């Protein structure tokens, strides 16, 4: 399991990096899907099979597809790829790179300097998650459904052609 974790972590990192740096939207999206799959495997290796499945179904399956649909709707052609390349000159990379690396370094410093603790090998199955959801976090569930409703209505209204 640990090997699985490190391997999928590496894939996720590389895929994410590629996803944010592509000039063609579709390429970026596909790399992102790959990254999501890798993260799902990470989840699995950490003993969260239910959420691994959910990650694939909801995130990679629904959310990414949604973005794909919108991209198709916008119907950006080859000129958009040229424009994207134009929008990413050499000097644009500098400040974000600095900031991001600073962020990484700081958080890594924080994380790795804490005393080492091991994760547990046992996986927490869907049953436990379900029990927790509908007993302790019941209000959260209700609020989440309200949020989804709001998002639904909002997206419908905002996306409608005037």
Partner 1 sequence: MTAQVTSAAVSMTAAVPTSHVLAVAAILIAIGTFGVLLRRNLIFMLMALEVALNGAALAFIGAAARWGTADGQVFVLFIMVMAAAEVAVGLALILQIYRRASTLDADVLDTLQG
Partner 2 sequence: MTLSLMVMPPLIGAALLALAGGRLGRKAIAVLACAAVALSFMAAVWTSAPLLATTYESMSSLSGLEFWPQVSTTMEGVPYVQEKLYEWIGVGSLRVNIGFHLDAVAALMVLVVTGVGLLIHLYAAGYMADDPDFGRFFCYMNLFVAAMLILVLADNLVLLYLGWEGVGVCSYLLIGFWYREPANGAAASKAFVVTRVGDAALALGLFLLARDLGTLRIDEVASGAARLWAVGDPTVTLVAALLLIGAVGKSAQVPLQVWLPDAMAGPTPVSALIHAATMVTAGVYLIARTHAIFLMAPAVMAAVAIVGTLTAFLAGCAALAQKDIKRVLAYSTISQIGFMFAALGVGAFAVALFHLMTHAFFKALLFLSAGTVSHALHGETDLHRMGGLRHGRALPGTAALAAVGVGSLAGLPLITSGFYSKDAILWASLQPPYGHPMILAGLLITAGLTTLYAFRWYFMIFSGSPGPASRGEVHRPRALMLWPCVGLAAGALLIGFLETPETLGGYHALGDFLNPVFAAAEHTVGGEHAGFASAEAAHTAELAVQGAAAAMSLIGVLLAYYFFVMRPAWLERLKQGAVGRLIEATWRSGWGFDEVYELVFVRPYVALAKLLRDEPVDDVVDAIAGTARFSSVLLSVTQTGRLRTYAGALVFGILLLLTIWLWP
Q: Which of residues 80-139 bind partner 2 (CB under 8 A)?
A: 95-96, 99, 102-103, 106-107, 109-110
78: partner contacted, choices partner 2, partner 1, none (Cβ within 5-8 A by kind): none
- Report whether 156 contacts 83 (CB < 8 A): no
Q: Which residue has the tokens 């600073």?
A: 102
Residue 90 in the binding site for partner 1 (CB under 8 A)? no
Q: Which of 72, 74, 82, 142 binds partner 1 (CB under 8 A)?
A: 74
76: left (phi over 0), alpha (psi -120 to 50) or beta: beta
From residue 7 to residue 46, what is the string marking binding to partner 1 with x (rule CB under 8 A)?
--x--xx--xx-xxx---x--xx--x--xx--x--xxxxx
CB neighbours of 67 closer than 8 A, spacing ≥ 6? 29
Smallest distance, partner 1 to C-beta of residue 77, A: 13
Smallest distance, partner 2 to C-beta of residue 74, A: 18
From residue 94 to residue 133, what is the string marking binding to partner 1 with x (rule CB under 8 A)?
-xxx-xxx-xx--xx--xx-x-xxxxxxxxxx--xx-xxx
Both tokens of residue 155?
A: 């997206």
Cα Rg of the chain (Å, integer) = 20
Residue 67 burial class via C-beta count within 10 angstroms: exposed 0-12, middle 13-18, buried 19 and up: middle
- Tell me which residues touch partner 2 (CB under 8 A): 95-96, 99, 102-103, 106-107, 109-110
């Amino acid at each position: 399991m640990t090997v699985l974790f490190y391997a999928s972590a590496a894939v996720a990192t590389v895929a994410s990096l590629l996803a944010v740096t592509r000039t063609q939207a579709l390429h970026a999206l596909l790399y992102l899907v790959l990254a999501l799959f890798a993260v799902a495997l990470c989840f699995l290796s950490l003993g969260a099979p239910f959420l691994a499945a959910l990650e694939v179904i909801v995130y990679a399956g629904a959310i990414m597809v949604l973005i794909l649909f919108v991209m198709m709707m916008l119907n950006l052609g080859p000129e958009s790829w040229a424009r994207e390349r134009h929008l990413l000159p050499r000097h644009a990379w500098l400040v974000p790179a600095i900031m991001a690396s600073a962020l990484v370094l700081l958080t890594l410093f924080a994380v790795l300097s804490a005393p080492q603790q091991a994760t547990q090998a046992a996986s927490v199955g869907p049953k436990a998650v379900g029990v927790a959801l509908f007993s302790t976090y019941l209000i959260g569930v209700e609020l989440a459904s309200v949020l989804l409703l709001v998002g639904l209505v909002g997206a419908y209204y905002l996306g409608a052609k005037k």
